[in-house]
Amino acid sequence: MTHRSQWQIDKTEAVGKGGMVTAMHPLGAEAGAEILKKGGNAIDAAIATAFAVGVAEPQSSGVGGIAFLAYSPADSPDTTVCLDGTSVLPKSIRPDEFDVLPGDDVAGMYSWPATKDDANNTGWRAPAVPGMPALMGDAHARYGRLPWSDLLQPAIRIARDGFEIDPFGSLAITQSYESLARFPSSREIYFTRAGGPLMPAGMKPGDKLIQAELAWTLEQMAEHGPDALYRGEVGKRLVAEMEKNGGLITEDDLHAHQTLEHAATTITYKDFEVSGQIENSGNASVFEALKILEGLNLSGCGFQTTEAAHLILEAVRRAFRDRLRYLGDAELMTVPYKGVISPDFACQRRDDIDPARATPDAGPGDPWPFDPQDRPADEFRDSASPGGRTTHINVIDGDGNMIALTSTLGASFGSCVVVPGTGIMLNNATTWFDPRPGAVTSVGPGKRILSAASPMLIRRNGQPFAAIGAPGGRRIISAMTQVALNLMEYGKGMQESISAPRMHAEGPISEVSERIGQETLDQLEKMGHRVLPRVEGFNSAGFARPSGIRIDQDSGTLRGGVFQYTNATAIALD
C-alpha cells in the first residue's frame, strides 16, 4: 500500500458579538462590515455585500444575475421571509429557439445536447431579465435602515477604482477564455492589451480589474433605485444592445419583472427548526435528505465514520432521485413539494436504505400519497451533473437579524456577454433548460428557473442558531445537508462543519473527498458504493463552497466559517 500526501488547508473562525458578514470575496465582506459599522442592519449589509461581491467576483454574481434571500427579523425570531429574485425566460423565446446539433455532444453546466454556437449557454439569446437588483430594492424598501444610495457606494468605488486581480479571479477568466473572447465588450474588461487574461501578482504587481461602465450603472441605481434597470436609462441601453445583437429581452420583459415572495417552509430536525424557500430552489431536496437522516442513529455511528458516510450518501442519493423525477416549476406543472419533505415519505425512503449495503441504482420513491395535491398525468424531468458559478452571503447584525442570500449568473460569467455602455455581465438563464422542445424542462416563454440555491436559517428551540448557504450548482444540496448535519447532529463549530470532508451522490456514483481517509474509501467500496475519490484543492469545486454564521445561544457570540480553498472571508464586529 502506498501513502500519498494530501491537501490540509483550513481557516480560522471569525468571532464577535457586534455583527458578522461572510462573503466569497474579501472586498464583499468588507463592504458589508462597513455598512454595519455605519449603523446599517443585516438587510443593509447584505445589499451592500451583494453589489460589492458582484463587482469583485464578476464570474459568479452581480447586477445581471438572480438571487434568493431568507430573512429572519430579530423582533420575530420564529418568522422567516423568503424573497425569490429568479426570472422567467423572455416572452419572445421559442421552444425551438436553439439549433440542436446532431450527435451525442453535450454542453453547458447541465450537459444538455450541444447547440449551434453554444447559443443556449453563451451569447445574447441566453439571458433572462436580471432579478438580483429588484430583489435588493424590495428587501430594502421593506426592512432597510440606511439610505439606499449609501449601500451601493462600496460597489461603485470598487468598480470605478478597480482592484488587483487575485489568482481565483484570473483562473476564472482563463477557464472561460474562449467564450469571453467572442465578445469585444467582455474582452475589453477581462483581457490585457496583449489579449491574455488578467493575471495576478507574481514577479510584478497583478493586473487591475477596472469596470468603469459598471460603476456608471451602479451610480444610476444609487440615484434612481433598481428602476434604473427596469424602467430607466440602464434598461434602455440593455434593450438597444439586445436589438442590435439578436437578443431576446425587451422593454416589456423588463417592465414585467417582479420579485416573488414565498411562505417559508420549516422542517424540524430533533430540537432544531430549519427554514427556507422550497419553490424553485434546492431546499426541498436538502429538507428531504435531513428528514430521512433524522430517523437514523448518525450520532451513534460517529462523526466522519464509514457507517455515517454510507447512510448520508444513501439519503442524499434518494433525495436527488426524487428531485430529478418530480420537481420543477410549480407554475407550469403540479409539483409534490409537500410530499417530498413529508415525515411519512421520509420514513418510507429511510426503510429503503440497507445499513450494510449500498444501492447505487436506487430509483425515485413516490411522494404523491403524502402530498395534498392530486397526482397529475405522469411528467418526467431529468438532467445531468452541473457545474456553474454562484456566490453566497450570510449576515447577522448586532440586533440578531439573520440573512442567508445566494446569488448567481448561472454558469461562470453567465452568458459571457457584457452589455456595452453598462458593464453588466448577463446571466445565461437558458442553460437551466433543455434546448430540445417538447418537455416540461424545455425552453419556452415565461418558464421559470429551477435553481439548486439553498439559503437557509436554523433555529434551536425557537431561538436563532445559524445562517448557512453555498454556491456550487446541484452540489449545493449535498453540501448543505452535510453542513447542517455537522451543526445539528454532531454539535460541531461553524468552521469545522464547513471544512470537514464531504460527499455527493445524485446517481450511481458516490463521490467522496479523499480527505476522509483511504480506509473509509476502501470500506465504502466493500459495502457496494461505486466510489469516485475526489482531490480537493484551490481549483476544485466538487462539493460546493459553503459559508455560515453560528450563534452561541448562551453568550450571543457569533462564529463565522467560510470555504477554506478560496479567498472567502468572514468579518466579525466587536
* Bridge partners, residue 284, by sequence: none
CA 74 to chain centroid = 25
- Catalytic status, residue 49: no
Q: What are phi and psi of 434, to 5 degrees?
A: -70, 125
547 has which bridge partners? Answer: 469, 562
Q: Which of 22, 259, 390, 408 is catalytic?
A: 390
Q: Are strands 208-209 and 163-164 parallel, antiparallel or unpaired?
A: antiparallel
The grid cell for 261 is: 415572495
Smallest CA-to-CA distance from 499 within 15, 9, 168 is with 9
DSSP assignment of 18-49: SEEEEESSHHHHHHHHHHHHTT--HHHHHHHH
Closest C-alpha among 159, 164, 151, 264 to residue 215: 159
Q: What are phi and psi of 123, to 5 degrees?
A: 110, -175
d(CA 504, CA 309): 10
205, burial (CB in 10 Å: exposed 0-12, middle 13-18, buried 19+): exposed
Least Cα distance to 266 among 257, 278, 274, 258 occurs for 274
Number of DSSP helices (H) and strands (E) in the chain, helices first: 19, 23
User: Residue 30 in contact with residue 19, Cβ under 8 Å?
Assistant: no
How many Cβ atoms are within 10 Å of 76's Cβ, its own excluded?
A: 9
457 near 82, Cβ under 8 Å?
no
C-alpha–C-alpha distance, residues 562 and 572, integer Å? 13
Residue 223, SS3 per DSSP: helix
Phi, psi of 540 (to 5 degrees): -115, 145
Side chain identity, residue 266: T
Question: Using CA of residue 115, residue 116, residue 119, residue 123, what is the dihedral sign?
Answer: positive
Q: Which positions are catalytic?
A: 390
